């Protein structure tokens, strides 16, 4: 009988071993990468590009802000343009003019300067009588004046001579009013500087033609009315200079020359861009 030959249960030394060796040798890179990733977590992973996302919100908000700024600036410019056009139209329509003041007569009743023997005390006593005319040349503007303070000064150095007052009054359009017998008086002591200044003014004028130059100042506040619109109360000063008068001798008053006097109105009112 023939004998049966069974294969050995032990793995063949040359066959299987050779196959396993060949498999391991063919994949050395994958094995190394897997081992590196498993045992070294800090190793760098392969770069994978991410999809690009656009930010539409920031650009949209910026565009809205720019549009708001543009329309705001445009609105302000249009309002300024309309205000300028309205102011120009009102100025052309109403034609504002300065109020006028005139001193038509001035009488010097007393202008006495007394000095003690040792020149330590000097006393000035004055008494003047004025006639003042105030006019309103405007056709559409009414004027409301508060009480006036009237002061008399020497025209040279501005030494205070006396004061008086005018009552409050109103002037309608294209109208005028006059005040007669406005009394300006003073009785005060003079210091050395005021005394020397007044003596200098008196000597200069008296040496020429025996006259003295005077200046009248009037201070008050005024309010303007245009239809139903009223302005705020503002200050006003009226200065009338160039008045020449003689110092009286005895009790007879002297009449000052007022024909060359000029009254300047320092009034500054801003209403619809009007400047007086």
* pLDDT single digits (tens) 208-218: 555 788 999 99
**Environment class of 250 (CB within 10 Å of its CB; exposed 0-12, middle 13-18, buried 19+):** exposed
Regarding pTM above 0.75, the answer is: no
Q: Whole-angstrom Cα distance, residue 87 to residue 81?
A: 10
Q: Whole-angstrom Cα distance, residue 276 to residue 270?
A: 8
Tokens 């063949």, located at residue = 12
The dihedrals phi and psi of 86, each to the nearest 5 degrees, come to: -65, -40
Does 175 score more than 80 pLDDT?
A: yes
Overall average pLDDT of the 116-120 stretch: 72
Q: Whole-angstrom Cα distance, residue 243 to residue 110?
A: 16
- Residue 115's DSSP bridge partners are 122
Tokens of 186: 């003073």
Q: Whole-angstrom Cα distance, residue 134 to residue 150?
A: 14
CB atoms within 10 A of CB 122: 19
State pLDDT tens for residues 81-95: 888 887 676 666 667
Q: Whole-angstrom Cα distance, residue 154 to residue 111?
A: 11
Tokens 């994978």, located at residue = 48
State the pLDDT confidence band at 273, using cuts at 50, 70 and 90: very low
pLDDT at 195: 82
Q: Please give the sequence-ordered ranges of beta strands (E in DSSP) within 58-147, or none if there are none.
A: 100-115, 122-136, 142-145
Overall average pLDDT of the 166-192 stretch: 92
| Cβ–Cβ < 8 Å for 187, 123 | yes
The 3 state secondary structure assigned to 143-211 is EEECCEEEEEEECCCCCEEEEEEECCEEECCCEEEEEEEEEEEEEEEECHHHHHHHHHHHHHHHHHHCE
First to last CA, the chain: 151
State the pLDDT confidence band at 155, using cuts at 50, 70 and 90: confident
State pLDDT tens for residues 23-43: 444 454 454 545 544 555 555
Number of H helices, E strands in the chain: 4, 12
Tokens of 61: 């908000």
| Cβ–Cβ < 8 Å for 208, 253 | no
């Amino acid at each position: 009988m023939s004998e049966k030959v069974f294969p050995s249960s032990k793995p063949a030394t040359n066959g299987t071993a050779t196959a396993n060796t060949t498999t391991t040798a063919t994949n050395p890179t994958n094995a190394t990468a897997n081992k590196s990733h498993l045992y070294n977590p800090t190793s760098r992973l392969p770069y994978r590009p991410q999809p690009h996302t656009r930010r539409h919100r920031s650009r949209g908000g910026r565009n809205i802000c720019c549009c708001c700024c543009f329309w705001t600036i445009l609105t302000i410019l249009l309002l300024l343009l309309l205000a300028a056009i309205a102011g120009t139209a009102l100025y052309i329509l109403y034609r504002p003019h300065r109020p006028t003041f005139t001193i038509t007569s001035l009488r010097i009743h007393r202008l006495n300067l007394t000095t003690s023997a040792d020149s330590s005390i000097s006393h000035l006593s004055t008494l003047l009588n004025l006639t003042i005319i105030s006019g309103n040349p405007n056709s559409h503007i009414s004027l409301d004046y508060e009480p006036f303070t009237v002061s008399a000064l020497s025209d040279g150095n501005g030494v205070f001579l006396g004061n008086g007052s005018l009552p409050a009054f109103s002037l309608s359009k294209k109208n005028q009013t006059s005040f007669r017998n406005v009394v300006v008086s003073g009785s005060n002591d003079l210091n050395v500087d005021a005394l020397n200044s007044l003596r200098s003014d008196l000597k200069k004028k008296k040496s020429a033609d025996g006259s003295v130059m005077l200046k009248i100042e009037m201070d008050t506040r005024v309010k303007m009315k245009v239809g139903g619109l009223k302005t705020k109360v503002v200050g006003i000063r009226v200065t009338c200079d160039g008045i020449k008068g003689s110092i009286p001798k005895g009790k007879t008053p002297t009449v000052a020359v007022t024909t060359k006097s000029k009254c300047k109105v320092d009034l500054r009112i801003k209403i619809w861009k009007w400047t007086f």
